[in-house]
Each structure stands twice: as C-alpha cells, then as structure tokens.
C-alpha cells in the first residue's frame, strides 16, 4: 500500500538524512553540497529551520515517536536566534552560531515561523510556542499588511524594501501568489490549535483573494507575480505552485470555511489540478513551469512531492480511479529520478528530464524536508485503495 511505502520512505530515508544534520552547537546545518559534504559553518535560513521544526514536530506526533521530539526541540530552541527582540519578527538568516546575517523581514519568512511553531505547540502543548506564533500572526497583520493585501519584503524596522527574494524571471513583484499561499497555510495551521475568529476571518479573506483575484479561470491557472494593485507582471504558469495550491487551498477551505461556501473552491482546486496534469504531467514526473509559452523541463524535488498530494486530493474529491493511476506513475518517477540512492542521501534538488543531475546542492536555505516529508505524512493518513 502506498501509505506503507510513504511511512517507510519517511522513516528510513528522509528523517535519517536530516537527523544527521543536527548541530550539537545549535540548529541544523544550512548547506550540504552535491557530493554530500556538510558545511557546518554555513549560514542558517529561518525558512529552513522553521520547516525542519514543522517536519519533526508533525512526524513525532504522527508516528508517536518520542525520539523525534528531541529534533523538534532542537529546531525550536534555535528558532529563537532568528528573533528580533527590538523590532519583532524573525530575520531571514543567521550565522551558524546564531548571529544575524540577513536581517530582512519577509512576510513569507514570518509565515513559516508561525507554521513551525503551531506544529510544535500541537506536539508539545508548550504555551510559549503558541504565544510566539500568535505574536507573529499579529505582527504580520500590523506590519506587513496594507490596504491592498500583504506586502513582501521589509528591512529590520519593517520599512519596505525590494522583493528580490521572491521575484524571478526579470520582474520585481510587489505582491506574489507564493507569499499569500503560505500566509494562508500558516494561518490554517495556527487556527487548528488556536481557533480565533479574527484569524479565521483573515484566512477567509486570503481564500477570497485566491478565488477572485489570483485564480485566472480563463487560463486555468494562478497568476504568479503582481504589482501592488494585483496586475499580473508575467505570462507564467508555475506548475508546481498550481498543483500544490490544488490541495493546499482545499485544506484551508475545509479548516476555515463553513461547508456551504466550499463549492466554488472545490471547482477551482480541481481545475488547477486538472490543468497541470494535462499540460505538464508525464511518466518522467511534472515539469517545472511555463513562461511566455515555453516549458521548463526541469524536475524539481518539491514539485514532484506536491504532485503526489495534488493527485491524492483530486482522487479524494472525485473518486476517479484515474488519479490513482497517476499517483503510481508519479511515485515511480520520484523513485527513479529524484531519490538519491547513495548511502546517506535524500532527494536531489533537481534533475533533467532524462535523469541527469543538475549542480544544485542537497541542502540550502530552500532545500528542506518540508515538501517530501509532508508528502509522506499526508499519504500515511490518506484513504487510498492503492
């Protein structure tokens, strides 16, 4: 059964890799090169640390494994090194010994700290963690939000700065689909442990923005980069984000909205998943993105993991067995192309369609256990007859 394979992959491949990166001096290593050489002196990103916190917290709870709690505790302790006691919020990165390096306060980064803290509280019941998550939620609403939505990048004092960190393809985005998606994800995770009506309302607003502004029903996709007035800046479909949103938005819908409000979101989520499947899915996994009508054929680790969850969610919503067939094809592609078979390996950052490796490292500020670890954790709980 796929749930058993996912459990074995999580416990025998993914978690052991990240366990080895626990630094006795604090936190987890921030960089491992393509040859699996560990750079213990590399800077540590808050997004990576927050995602590690979420994975070990959720895995410890799902597997009832007290041994994994120690890794969650370790990530939680180091998260304090990212905190700005003077201005609030968390920095983008710190040195290996916890000194601020990049003091950017990005909304995306604040959201992932909430995400990790909420999962840690769910595991431990530690009130301090919940209090930190709530403070960050309130900080996002006070410092990162404006009359039009959520801003992106800020200096340490929360004065605005340019958004290089979440812009690409030659545009400088004032707002991004990606940041709003993960603010919503964080708010839904926090709501599960702190069912505050104000928080729920903010999540509902974000869902409405996706349905009415970011989703382009005519093109069957989410727009990606916007100016501050939500005018799209690029003709682009991010296949990975659309397949991720196909299930992640639905997860937020069932968490935050009454059942009578679900139908248009169900239609949107299935449209996104179906569009990506039609345009980008092959027996070699999912393509990365399409810009100005040209596909990027790279197979990227997180895109492949999110494809599994998108297909599983489509099956849950429709009961159509074709999604089960696609799940199996995608799982085989992951095993063949993405999983590093070397002793001590995990997943490659990216490969070409023919399986040739790129030069990307095994760990850096974005390469984390969150996507493939979460894939396994959710498949373990999914009602799948395969």
pLDDT digits (tens, 9 = 90+) for 200-214: 999 999 999 999 999
If pLDDT is split at 50, 70 and 90, which confidence band does 137 have? very high
Is residue 130 within 8 Å of residue 117, measured between CB atoms?
yes
The predicted pLDDT at position 38 comes to 98
* Torsion angle in degrees (nearest 10) through CA of 278, 283, 286, 289: -70
Q: In a 3-state reduction of DSSP, which class is residue 283?
A: coil
Burial per residue of 60-72, b for 16 or more beta-carbon CB atoms within 10 angstroms, e otherwise: bbbbeeeebbebb
Whether the predicted pLDDT of 291 surpasses 90: yes
Burial per residue of 275-297, b for 16 or more beta-carbon CB atoms within 10 angstroms, e otherwise: bbbebbbeebbbbbbbbeeeeee
Q: In a 3-state reduction of DSSP, which class is residue 294?
A: strand
The predicted pLDDT at position 305 comes to 98
The mean pLDDT value for 240-252 works out to: 98
Q: Kindly give the pairing relationship between strand 225-226 and strand 285-286.
A: unpaired
If pLDDT is split at 50, 70 and 90, which confidence band does 386 have? confident
If pLDDT is split at 50, 70 and 90, which confidence band does 340 have? very high
Find the helix packing angle between 301-318 and 263-280, rounded to 10°.
130
Kindly give the residue spans of alpha helices, DSSP state H, lying in the chain. Answer: 2-9, 15-19, 46-63, 66-79, 107-124, 127-139, 177-193, 197-209, 239-256, 263-280, 301-318, 322-333, 370-381
d(CA 49, CA 47): 6
If pLDDT is split at 50, 70 and 90, which confidence band does 182 have? very high
The mean pLDDT value for 136-160 works out to: 97
What is 210-272 written as a DSSP string? Answer: IIIIIEETTTTEE--EE-TT--B-S-EEEHHHHHHHHHHHHHHHHHHS-GGG-HHHHHHHHHH
Write the pLDDT tens digit of every residue in 292-308: 999 999 999 999 999 99
Write the pLDDT tens digit of every residue in 52-93: 999 999 999 999 999 999 999 999 999 999 999 999 999 999
Q: CB neighbours (10 Å) of residue 213?
A: 16
Sign of the alpha-carbon dihedral angle for 196, 201, 207, 209: negative
Write the pLDDT tens digit of every residue in 3-47: 999 999 999 999 999 999 999 999 999 999 999 999 999 999 999
Which architecture does CATH list for 2-381? Alpha/alpha barrel (1.50)
Residue 243 tokens read as: 């397949």
d(CA 229, CA 221): 19
Whether the predicted pLDDT of 322 surpasses 90: yes
Residue 73 tokens read as: 């505790």
If pLDDT is split at 50, 70 and 90, which confidence band does 356 have? very high
d(CA 125, CA 283): 43
The predicted pLDDT at position 139 comes to 98
Calculate the alpha carbon distances from 340 to 18, 194, 203, 316, 369 in Å: 14, 39, 37, 30, 14
Angle at CA of residue 304, ends 115 and 277, nearest 5° = 110
Q: What is the mean pLDDT of the chain?
A: 97
The predicted pLDDT at position 353 comes to 87
The predicted pLDDT at position 297 comes to 95
% of the chain at pLDDT higher than 90: 99
């Amino acid at each position: 059964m796929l749930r058993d394979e996912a459990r074995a992959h999580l416990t025998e491949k993914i978690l052991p890799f990240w366990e080895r990166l626990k630094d006795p001096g604090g936190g987890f290593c921030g960089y491992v090169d393509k040859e699996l050489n560990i750079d213990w002196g590399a800077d540590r990103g808050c997004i990576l640390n927050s995602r590690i916190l979420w994975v070990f917290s959720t895995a410890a709870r799902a597997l009832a494994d007290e041994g994994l709690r120690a890794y969650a505790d370790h990530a939680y302790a180091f998260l304090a090194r990212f905190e700005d006691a003077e201005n609030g919020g968390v920095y983008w990165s710190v040195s290996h010994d916890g000194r601020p390096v990049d003091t950017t306060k990005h909304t995306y980064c604040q959201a992932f700290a909430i995400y990790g803290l909420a999962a840690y509280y769910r595991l431990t019941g530690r009130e301090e963690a919940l209090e930190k998550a709530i403070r960050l939620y309130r900080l996002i609403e006070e410092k990162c939000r404006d009359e039009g939505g959520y801003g992106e990048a800020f200096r340490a004092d929360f004065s605005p700065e340019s958004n290089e960190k979440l812009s690409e393809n030659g545009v400088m985005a004032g707002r991004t689909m990606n940041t709003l998606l993960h603010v919503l994800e964080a708010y839904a995770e926090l709501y599960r442990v702190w069912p505050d009506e104000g928080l729920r309302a903010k999540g509902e607003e974000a869902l409405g923005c996706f349905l009415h502004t970011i989703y382009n029903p005519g093109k069957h996709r989410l727009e990606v980069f916007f100016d501050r007035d939500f005018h799209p800046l690029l003709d682009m479909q991010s296949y990975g984000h659309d397949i991720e949103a196909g299930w992640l938005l639905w997860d937020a819908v069932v968490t935050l909205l009454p059942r009578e409000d679900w139908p248009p979101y169900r239609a949107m989520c299935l449209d996104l998943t179906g569009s990506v499947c039609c345009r980008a899915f092959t027996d070699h996994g999912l393509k990365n993105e399409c810009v100005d009508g040209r596909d990027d054929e790279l197979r990227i680790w997180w895109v492949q993991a999110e494809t599994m969850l998108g297909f599983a969610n489509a099956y849950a919503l429709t009961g159509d067995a074709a999604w089960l067939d696609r799940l199996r094809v995608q799982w085989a592609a992951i095993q063949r192309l993405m999983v590093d078979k070397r002793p001590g390996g995990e997943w490659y950052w990216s490969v070409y369609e023919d399986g040739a490796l790129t030069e990307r490292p095994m760990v850096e500020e974005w390469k984390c256990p969150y996507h493939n670890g979460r894939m396994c954790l959710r498949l373990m709980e999914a009602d799948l007859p395969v």
